[in-house]
Amino acid sequence: MTLLSYVETHTSHADLEIVDFNGAAMVCERLHEMGLHRGQKIRFVGRAPLKGPLLIQFGTSFLALRAEEAQCTLIQTR
């Protein structure tokens, strides 16, 4: 298990699963409101240059996460 913020660009299009959320309650609540939940399957699509946002896909939706949000998301490879 690792934090989503540590996913490297060479794992682009890797299938991942959200294990848990940790960090500031407001950030975790916002992630939940954006549609991310424990046990959910996501796909890492890529990262913007200069440590910019991460792009993930779940279902037919795409979501860009800032570093603060990605650091609250614990994932594992499927």
How confident is the chain (78 residues) per 10-residue block, as mean pLDDT? 74 81 91 93 89 91 92 87
Q: For residue 36, what pLDDT is reported?
A: 94
pTM for the whole structure: 0.83
The DSSP secondary-structure symbol of 54 reads E
Domains in the chain with CATH codes: 2-77 (2.30.30.90)
Q: For residue 9, what pLDDT is reported?
A: 58
* Token pair listed for 74: 């614990």
Which helix (H) or strand (E) segment holds residue 5: the answer is none
Cα 10 from Cα 49, distance rounded (Å): 14
* Token pair listed for 19: 């294990």
C-beta of residue 28 within 8 angstroms of C-beta of residue 38? no
Question: Which residue from 63, 5, 2, 12 is spatially nearest to 36, judged by alpha carbons?
Answer: 63
